[in-house]
């Protein structure tokens, strides 16, 4: 997880890239909102890509296996079929 200083640095770089220095641009709040939206989208895409890599590498479980693990971790009895 990034530190507050790293987050400020990322935001500062974002503003430098996206806001023209010689013109009146969006407010600080608008910049922050747009940056957060872009960060969230980037995080979502990264998560999807990691999931795809897991699937391609065979790191998946069936719903039945998942259910058994959850039930066991909660101390619930297995479902008899």
For 10-67, the pLDDT digits (tens) are: 999 999 888 877 777 888 899 999 999 999 999 999 999 999 999 999 999 999 999 9
Q: pTM for this one?
A: 0.66
Distance CA 68, CA 19 (A): 52
Predicted pLDDT of residue 80: 84
pLDDT above 80 (res 79): yes
Matching residue, tokens 């066991």 = 72
pLDDT above 80 (res 9): yes
Predicted pLDDT of residue 2: 78
Distance CA 32, CA 37 (A): 9
């Amino acid at each position: 997880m990034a530190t507050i200083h790293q987050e400020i640095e990322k935001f500062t770089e974002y503003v430098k890239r996206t806001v023209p220095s010689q013109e009146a641009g969006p407010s600080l709040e608008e910049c922050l909102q747009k940056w957060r939206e872009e960060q969230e989208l980037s995080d979502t895409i990264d998560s999807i890509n990691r999931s795809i890599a897991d699937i391609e590498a065979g790191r998946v479980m069936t719903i039945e296996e998942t259910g058994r693990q959850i039930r066991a971790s909660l101390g619930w009895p297995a479902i008899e079929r």
